[in-house]
A and B are shown apart, each in its own frame.
Chain A
């Protein structure tokens, strides 16, 4: 094939000046990490609460958590993102909706991406937390209650500390998933890594360099996260428990 390789393209200045294509590429990495980290924080909080709710002896609360999981798991991420971005501002009370629509585009894109990815992943975290709590012997809950702890105390001091340590390995894959899923937010115009790949192609006409660089960046981010999480997993492993859930 007569393709003209030119890796030097990354050091050229972009048409608007003041930055090189390498800076664009690094900004893409930055946005991917920002969106992923913020969404992961939201997912962890909401998912843990929902996971606990799924296991409490209260039909209404566990029913609500189940409904949440079913809704967020059975609608494609892309559709959810478009609903957060295009539909929710229309359905909010007029004042609030208008305020959102008049905020800077980047703000709107980030808000939709954050809520979408965070609440989507929360459903998956919820299932992991539930599995973690479910994998503990039933006696642990009973023992906690028999010792005179209240139900919230039993969760706080007995069940959750064990459950979170047990579910660390599947949580590692959820962390990797949220980074990969963050590429979907490029569809509403947030210029993260995968959008940057397309933009670099449009501006430089060097598709292979742009795509190889961006793919390598994803692989590198993956590898770093995996390494960090392996260390955390080793430190936090509960002696005597081998693996948890899937």
Chain B
């Protein structure tokens, strides 16, 4: 082999890499929390008897699902700063991070809403009729009867989506945000050790994602409701 590996720039760069990893985790966490909350709302709207609501939710989901994530990130990088400037008048420190939060949260909500919709539909429709017959309102029967069961079935899929989302956060590279991957690339570029840093980054992602999907499989075998 013609290449001399030199891993010596990694130990010194660990604090930077850790700082990048924190940004990666922040984006992932916000996207999961907001994505699931907004995704649940979208799923309920999509299934609601109200035509306008269900049309809105369907268009939202289809729009986001037909665009590449990279375009969505760039879109919000274009729009969010303008909106923020209108609201707060210029004094925002890191616009890139804010626009990444918004982009990922709104994008992932579309994907989460499809998972959640399938989960809700997997609950037999007799249950909603039964709870309505018992005198619960539509909202109450969703919240107290349908969603608790639906979420239990969905947990493995939601977590798998979270792993995909965690990998996708590396795309914030396109707006120059230093997440874990961006930092690794920059350190490699600085030290002329791009080969080592990229392989290191790949290995870290692999260990985390493989470990996480192993845990999801374990969880899945525990919580699946036997029917």
CA distance A12 to B68 in the complex (A): 27
Could you write out 26 A-B pairs with CB less than 8 Å apart? A1-B82, A70-B210, A71-B206, A73-B209, A74-B205, A74-B206, A74-B210, A78-B173, A79-B202, A80-B202, A83-B198, A87-B195, A87-B198, A87-B199, A176-B66, A180-B66, A180-B69, A182-B68, A183-B71, A184-B68, A186-B174, A187-B173, A194-B68, A194-B70, A194-B74, A197-B71
Contacts of B63 in A (CB 8 A): 219
CA distance A176 to B167 in the complex (A): 19
Q: Is A163 part of the binding interface, using a Cβ–Cβ cutoff of 8 Å?
A: no
Contacts of B71 in A (CB 8 A): 183, 194, 197, 211, 214-215, 218
B195 touches A91 (CB 8 A): yes
Q: Is A27 part of the binding interface, using a Cβ–Cβ cutoff of 8 Å?
A: no
Interface size class of A (residues with CB under 8 A): 35 or more
A93 touches B171 (CB 8 A): no
User: Which among B70, B167, B168 is the interface contact of A75 at CB below 8 angstroms?
Assistant: B167
Q: How many pairs, one residue from A and one from B, have CB atoms within 8 Å of each other in the complex?
A: 103
Q: Is A222 part of the binding interface, using a Cβ–Cβ cutoff of 8 Å?
A: yes
A76 touches B205 (CB 8 A): yes
Contacts of B82 in A (CB 8 A): 1
The 9 closest A-B pairs by CB, nearest first: A183-B68, A94-B2, A74-B209, A76-B167, A180-B68, A222-B66, A76-B170, A183-B70, A78-B170
Q: Is A77 part of the binding interface, using a Cβ–Cβ cutoff of 8 Å?
A: yes
CA distance A181 to B213 in the complex (A): 22
User: Which among B69, B170, B202, B210 is the interface contact of A83 at CB below 8 angstroms?
Assistant: B202
Contacts of A233 in B (CB 8 A): none
Min CB distance, A111 to chain B, in Å? 17
Query: Which residues from 172 to 196 on chain A have a C-beta closer than 8 Å to any C-beta of chain B?
Result: 176, 179-184, 186-187, 194
Min CB distance, B35 to chain A, in Å? 18
CB closest residue in chain B, given A219: B66
Contacts of B3 in A (CB 8 A): 90-91
CA distance A187 to B171 in the complex (A): 9
Contacts of A152 in B (CB 8 A): none
Contacts of A194 in B (CB 8 A): 68, 70-71, 74
The 8 A CB mask of B170-183 against A (1 = contact, 0 = none) is: 11011000000100
B66 touches A218 (CB 8 A): yes
Contacts of A11 in B (CB 8 A): none
CB closest residue in chain B, given A80: B202
User: Which among A1, A77, A176, A211 is the interface contact of B74 at CB below 8 angstroms?
Assistant: A211
A181 touches B173 (CB 8 A): no
Query: Which residues from 84 to 134 on chain A have a C-beta closer than 8 Å to any C-beta of chain B?
Result: 86-87, 90-94, 97
CA distance A73 to B198 in the complex (A): 17
Contacts of A90 in B (CB 8 A): 2-3, 195
Q: Is A20 part of the binding interface, using a Cβ–Cβ cutoff of 8 Å?
A: no
CA distance A83 to B188 in the complex (A): 12
CA distance A74 to B211 in the complex (A): 10
The 8 A CB mask of A1-33 against B (1 = contact, 0 = none) is: 100000000000000000000000000000000
Q: Is A68 part of the binding interface, using a Cβ–Cβ cutoff of 8 Å?
A: no
CB closest residue in chain A, given B157: A246
User: Which among B67, B75, B195, B213 is the interface contact of A74 at CB below 8 angstroms?
Assistant: B213
CA distance A194 to B175 in the complex (A): 13
CA distance A218 to B65 in the complex (A): 11
Q: Is B201 part of the binding interface, using a Cβ–Cβ cutoff of 8 Å?
A: yes
Query: Which residues from 55 to 100 on chain B have a C-beta closer than 8 Å to any C-beta of chain A?
Result: 63, 66-71, 74-75, 78, 82, 86
A79 touches B201 (CB 8 A): yes
CA distance A74 to B205 in the complex (A): 7
Q: Is A207 part of the binding interface, using a Cβ–Cβ cutoff of 8 Å?
A: yes
CB closest residue in chain B, given A79: B202
A75 touches B209 (CB 8 A): yes
Query: Told that A86-B198, A214-B71, A223-B66 touch, could you supply 5 new A-B pairs with CB distance under 8 A?
Result: A74-B209, A75-B209, A91-B1, A181-B68, A187-B173
Contacts of B104 in A (CB 8 A): none
Contacts of B210 in A (CB 8 A): 70, 74
User: Which among B67, B70, B195 is the interface contact of A184 at CB below 8 angstroms?
Assistant: B70
CA distance A70 to B213 in the complex (A): 10
Residue among B68, B69, B209, B213 with most chain A CB within 10 A: B68
CB closest residue in chain A, given B182: A78
Q: Is A55 part of the binding interface, using a Cβ–Cβ cutoff of 8 Å?
A: no
